[in-house]
Structure formats: C-alpha cells, structure tokens
Amino acid sequence: MEIHVVETALGRLKAAAVVLFAAQGESLRKRASACGQGYREALETLESSKSFSGEAGQVRTLTGGGKERIARVVLVGLGKRAKLTHEGLRHAAGAGVRAARELGAREVALAMPEGKGAFYRAETLAESLTEGSVVGLYRFENYKRKSAEDVIERISVLAAPAQAKAARRGLKEGRVLGEAVCFARQLGNEPGNVATPTFLATEAARIAEAHGLGLQVLEEDDMRALGMGSLLGVSQGSSEPAKLIILTYEPPARGKKRPETVAIVGKGLTFDTGGISIKPAAKLEDMKFDMCGGAAVLGAMQAVAGLQIGVRVVGLVPASENMPDAAAYKPGDILRAMNGTTIEIRNTDAEGRLILADALAYATSKLKPKPKAIVDLATLTGACVVALGDGHAGLVSNTDGLAAELLAASAESGDAIWRLPLTDTYRAQLESPYADLSNLGSPGAGTLTAAAFLENFTGDVPWAHLDIAGMAWTAKKSGNFLVGATGFGVRVIARWLQSRG
C-alpha cells in the first residue's frame, strides 16, 4: 500500500473516495461543497434528516451523482470536539478508510480535521491518520482459500502546502508504528502449530535483515551452558526446541556521546496448555496468543529501526511451548535459574515468569553495556484480566521515574496502561520451604505476586513490567482492532524508547 501527502486542495482533487471528519454539531457544508455541487445537495439532505450528528464512530457515505471529480465522500464523526484524542482520531481514520474499501474504492484521500492548538498540528494529525488507517485496514487472511478482493492500494493525506513538510514527517512515523503493530498482530494471529519458537526466531531473522538489526539466537545447548534452568524447565515437555531471541538496534552516531542501552523483554510462550497443571478446555485455543509479549518486542524493534531513535535497544524474546509430557516439569520440581536462584514449582501453569526469569537475568548480567532500564511485556496472569479487563494493561515497577515515563508514553500512544502496587506484602508471598522462591503466591493479587517474582531477576536495573493478558487479543471487533491479536505494547514501547532518545 502506498501512502502519500498530497497538497491538492479539496476543491481541485480527483479521487475515488474522500474521508471528511466532523465533530459533533460541526457543519460539513463548506467542505462537502468543495467536493462538488452534488455533495452540497447530498449534505443538505443529510443535515435536514439529522442522520449524521458527528457522534464518535458514526460513518455515512455520500454519492455525488456520478459526474463529480470525487466519486464518493465518507463522513466520519469524531464525537465532542473538546473530548477528541489522537487515539479517537486513529479509530475514526480506520473507520473512514474501511468504509471507502467497502465501497470498492482502491484509493482514498483523507482530509485533516481543522482546528486550533497543538492537537491540530499537521505532523501529529498526519501521524494519527496514517497510523489509524494502516492499523484499521489490517486483515489476517493467511489461511483463507480466497483473500478479500476489496483492497486499498493508495492513501493520500491532504495537506496545505505550508503544512506538507510536517505532514510528511508525521505520515512516516504513523506508517512505521502502524506497520509494526500489524506485524505483531500477524505473529499473534498465527496458530500455535505454525508460530513455534523456531518460527519466531525465523521472523526475528527476517526483520533483522530487513531493518539492519543485530541478531543472536541462543539454542537450548547455549542456554544449558549459561545455566538457564528455569526457561529450560518449562520447555522440557515440548518437542519444539526453545529459543532465546536477542535483537539489537544500534542508533545512528550522534557526536561523541555514547547512547544509553535499554532492554525490552517479551514473553514468547507459543502455546500454553498449562503443562502438568493442565488448563481446562474452554478457550484453550486462545493460548496461542501467549506469545504476544514477544510479538510486541519484535514489533517494537521493527518500529525503533524505522524511527531511527537515539537509544541503543536490545530486544529479548524467550520462546517456548508449555506442554504436558512424560518429560515435562512437574509440581514440586525445583529449577535453578541463570542467576543462581532456585525455584520450587507449585504450578506448571505459572510458566511465563519462569521463561522471563532467565531472559531478565541474562539482560541484567550479560549485556554490555549494562542496560539503564528494562521493561518486560507478558500475557502473564488471568488475574490481570479480572482486575483491569480489556481497558488497561497492568504496569508494575520498582522505579517511579520509569513508571512515569511509561504512563506518559501510554497516553500519547493509545496503548492504555494502569499502575498497580509492588510492596513487601506481595514479595513475601513467594516464600518456599524448599527453595529460594516459589513460582506461586498466596491466593489473591496474582498479577502482583507474578511481578514480585520477576523482580528477583532484574538485579539493580530499573525495571517495569506490563501484564498485557487482557489487551493482547480481543474476542470482539472494537474500532481498529479486529477479532484476534491487537499488537498491544508495540506503540507504548516505541513511544517510550523515542522519549528516551
């Protein structure tokens, strides 16, 4: 798909479809008239019948009567102007381009909403319109006999000549973020028999090649040599070999100053049966999404390369299956993680923390230079879905400054997160009579005891954890997100990394 900034005014544009945005109560008369005489009349009819109010999510299409320069006009409501957010605009853009696609248009132009203030800067508007369009047009069709025939081939974002340069910058950023989100969704939607640890490593190699990232994949033998008994313990019941994927982004040189290094770690559990502590059958198919933290890390690495941010980023994805098997790890087993910590297994379904433990220990002890911050993303606990539903991911951190940075990046990016507490109350619940730690807390606050467990593997590096269990996929279509993986985490992480560089 081509995406461009086009400097032609609405009054002279030729297009298969144009998307116009209107806030509640705002008149579209001037802009509709600029699209052609037929639209002026169509809009008057629409206004007198009160069938378009500008409510958020409302979409109406107008036909210009066959002889206009612009074949179709799509109107999209933005809701109350005072409440408009960039995330709202991204969803509105997605709704607009999807409507154009349904009308059979192959090309669509988007007119920027007009207004005063920082919100309406051409750069940010173009960013939101582009990102929203790319995310909103995504479909997963790898396994359908026939792929859809309605395809948008070209998107034009309309900008006044004075704004075109800024709009081009925003467009590029929106495109990079949107494509990275779709890449993560694509990985997430792949079924468990395809998206194995080996597949994730191959995909990592593909993006490393395409975007100039460094790549190292630790095999099980390498992990054994490093003492990664925690990750290997989870994997031992699976016939798919585990991988620890390590991607490195080097920023372009900027003077003499050495850039800081930060690490991001994503749970890449390619199918979670629960293991010997097996899960019930209902919704078990959703556990193919248990690698979405890993997918978010791969997507974020693609994004930082595209954005050419100023910090050095190492992305780590511990990838494994969790299977019941004669060779599988069992409740009562004691595993030894790479940092020497022994772990009593109380429940083999609390496996995410175990594969993350070795990846976090590796990131804090082996990377040179040592990272200044580590953030992990994981579909870690059902308890987080109980606490926050599909409204926010849970943020748990032992460093207030880092938590604040992530919350700021969250607000800008559209990936919603909410901070939860980490105190000694939760840390104390991981005591084991037999080992240094238990992999299970007392009943209650499962998200927080899981986070407290991870903290043991982060050394003295400022660390934050995002529990994305409620956000990584959706069972119902919602705005730009279809049923399936959402790519959650890519945008907040990319924005956070951008804010540090």
Q: Which is nearer to Zn ion, 73 or 323 (CB)?
A: 323
Q: What's the DSSP call for residue 146?
A: S
Min dist CB 240 to Mn ion, Å, is 16
Alpha-carbon distance 435 to 230, whole Å?
Answer: 13
Q: Which is nearer to ligand BES, 93 or 234 (CB)?
A: 234
If one asks whether residue 274 binds Zn ion (CB under 5 A), the answer comes out as: no
Question: Using alpha carbons only, how large is the chain's radius of gyration in Å?
Answer: 24
**Residue 266 near residue 374 (C-beta atoms within 8 A):** no
Min dist CB 274 to ligand BES, Å, is 6
Q: List, as own/partner pairs, every contact residues 219-225 make where C-beta atoms lie below 8 angstroms and the sequence separation is at least 24, other chains included.
A: 219/243, 223/358
319 binds, among ligand BES, Zn ion, Mn ion, none (CB under 5 to 8 A by kind): none
- Identity at 81, one-letter amino acid code: R
The CB-nearest residue to Zn ion is: 272
440 binds, among ligand BES, Zn ion, Mn ion, none (CB under 5 to 8 A by kind): ligand BES
* CB burial string 152-178: b at 16+ within 10 A, e below: bebbbbbbeeebbebbbebbbbbbbbb
Min dist CB 290 to Zn ion, Å, is 4
Task: Return the residues of window 78-137 that contact Zn ion according to CB under 5 A.
Answer: none
Stretch in the footprint of Zn ion (CB under 5 A) among 70-78, 174-182, 352-360, 383-391: 352-360
- Residues in CB range of 41: below 8 A, 6 or more apart: none
- Residues in CB range of 415: below 8 A, 6 or more apart: 393, 471, 488, 489, 490, 491, 492
79 is written with which tokens? 């809701």
Handedness of CA 18, 23, 28, 31 (dihedral sign): negative
Task: Return the residues of window 140-199 that contact Zn ion according to CB under 5 A.
Answer: none
Q: Which is nearer to ligand BES, 381 or 413 (CB)?
A: 381
Q: Which is nearer to Mn ion, 135 or 377 (CB)?
A: 377
The CB-nearest residue to Mn ion is: 349
Q: Which is nearer to ligand BES, 270 or 302 (CB)?
A: 270
In Å, what is the CA distance from 46 to each residue of 17, 67, 391? 18, 20, 35
400 is written with which tokens? 């207030």
Residues touching Zn ion, count (CB under 5 A): 4
388 binds, among Mn ion, Zn ion, ligand BES, none (CB under 5 to 8 A by kind): none
Min dist CB 470 to ligand BES, Å, is 7
Q: What's the DSSP call for residue 196?
A: -
Q: What's the DSSP call for residue 481?
A: B
Of 372, 350, 337, the closest CA to residue 451 belongs to 350
What does the binding site for Mn ion look like in residue numbers (CB under 5 A)?
272, 349, 351
Q: Which is nearer to ligand BES, 33 or 474 (CB)?
A: 474
If one asks whether residue 376 binds Zn ion (CB under 5 A), the answer comes out as: no
**Residue 20 near residue 28 (C-beta atoms within 8 A):** yes
Min dist CB 159 to Zn ion, Å, is 45
Min dist CB 183 to Mn ion, Å, is 25
Beta-strand relationship, 268-272 and 312-322:
parallel
Alpha-carbon distance 134 to 494, whole Å?
Answer: 17
If one asks whether residue 324 binds Zn ion (CB under 5 A), the answer comes out as: no
**Residue 353 near residue 439 (C-beta atoms within 8 A):** yes
Q: Which is nearer to Zn ion, 206 or 279 (CB)?
A: 279
What does the binding site for ligand BES look like in residue numbers (CB under 6 A)?
272, 290, 347, 349-352, 379-383, 385, 440, 446, 469
Min dist CB 350 to ligand BES, Å, is 4
Min dist CB 288 to Zn ion, Å, is 11
Min dist CB 483 to ligand BES, Å, is 15
6 binds, among ligand BES, Zn ion, Mn ion, none (CB under 5 to 8 A by kind): none
85 binds, among Zn ion, ligand BES, Mn ion, none (CB under 5 to 8 A by kind): none
385 binds, among Mn ion, ligand BES, Zn ion, none (CB under 5 to 8 A by kind): ligand BES
Alpha-carbon distance 465 to 403, whole Å?
Answer: 9
Of 192, 342, 378, 154, the closest CA to residue 270 belongs to 192
Active-site residue, 353 included: yes
Beta-strand relationship, 374-378 and 463-467:
parallel
If one asks whether residue 290 binds Zn ion (CB under 5 A), the answer comes out as: yes
Instruction: Single out the catalytic residue among 243, 353, 427, 495.
Output: 353
Alpha-carbon distance 287 to 297, whole Å?
Answer: 18
Q: Which is nearer to ligand BES, 349 or 405 (CB)?
A: 349
**Residue 39 near residue 70 (C-beta atoms within 8 A):** yes
Q: Which is nearer to Zn ion, 98 or 353 (CB)?
A: 353
Active-site residue, 106 included: no
If one asks whether residue 272 binds Zn ion (CB under 5 A), the answer comes out as: yes
Alpha-carbon distance 339 to 320, whole Å?
Answer: 20
Of the candidates 94, 294, 299, 352, which one interacts with Zn ion according to CB under 5 A? 352
Return the bridge partners of 235, or none: none
Half-sphere exposure of 350 (CA within 13 A, CB side): 23
Instruction: Single out the catalytic residue among 69, 154, 279, 500.
Output: 279
Interface residues with Zn ion (CB under 5 A) are 269, 272, 290, 352
Residues that are catalytic = 279, 353
